[in-house]
Amino acid sequence: MKALFLPALFALASPAFALEPAWPDLEAALYEGRTLLPGDDVIAIDAPYRTYDDARTLIAAQVAAPEGRLLSSVTVILDENPMPVSAVFTFRQPLPRFNFEATFRINGPTPMHMVAETTDGALWMVETFVKTSGQGACAAPPGTDPEEALATLGNMEIALEPGPSGSALDRLGALAHGEKQVDIDVMHPSHSGMQMDQITLLFIPMRYVESLDVELDGAGYVDITGSISLSENPSVSLSVPRSAAHLGVTMTDTEGTTTHAERALADY
């Protein structure tokens, strides 16, 4: 899947102040008339009512396939962002359930749609609305000097938690399902192509995390397709089976830079 269809959808995004909603065009382009089933019993979104920091907003979800089905992918769509398809999680082996959280740029007030696909081809959709603080995150100046950011670009830190963040009930629920949480922090400026160098006043070329491929015990687990909607130095947290003993992550950006990080996973 990777980022093949993401640039094509760049032009479909509407400005944050647009009167016409972007979703009908996005739905037609992405799903070509396929039926989107109500996903309230499949996807639980955790997103702020209003962002505290437009450039780094944490969005999380708990996804559980209907009984008798398995998940093949989950897609995060920020309708009014310049690149609406913001992240796609594609599972190398189908999963019954999956939890994640990631840091995103949210360019302005926007509907957000999340779509889970099961292995039988069914699509399950939920939506919410996120208000912003008016910072225009996708065009906001980078938080670090572009040259300094290149020096650490691609460095990754992997941390391990016993369960997903959130309430104690959430963590206990994860443990009951045999899961633990892995936190992946990626050093990358995630240049959107809309930001201006504050010294030269020239636009900084687009360069972002194109993919994070996650392996467990030497086998593919989940491939994450990125976009300019991922925040600068993005953080991604994933649920993994408690039985997993080793995790590897390969980052590839749009300039072809590839880095790799590994970590042994303690058993809980």
Q: Which domains does the chain have, with CATH numbers?
A: 6-259 (2.60.40.2470)
The beta strands (E) that lie in the chain are given as: 36-38, 43-46, 57-64, 71-78, 85-95, 97-104, 110-118, 123-130, 156-161, 179-186, 209-216, 219-225, 235-241, 246-253, 258-264
Q: Answer yes or no: is pLDDT of 201 > 70.
A: no
Q: Answer yes or no: is pLDDT of 49 > 90.
A: yes
The average confidence (pLDDT) of the chain is: 86
Read off the pLDDT band of 163 (50, 70, 90).
very low
Q: Answer yes or no: is pLDDT of 45 > 80.
A: yes
Higher-confidence residue of 192 and 239: namely 239
DSSP 184: E
Q: What pTM value is reported for the model? A: 0.87
Per-residue pLDDT reduced to its tens digit, 203-258 = 778 999 999 999 999 999 999 999 999 999 999 999 999 999 999 999 999 999 99
Q: Answer yes or no: is pLDDT of 176 > 60.
A: no
Measured at the alpha carbon of residue 29, what is the angle toward residues 27 and 34, in degrees to the nearest 5? 60
pLDDT of 4 reads: 41
**pLDDT more than 70, % of the chain:** 83
**179 in Cβ contact with 163 (< 8 Å):** yes
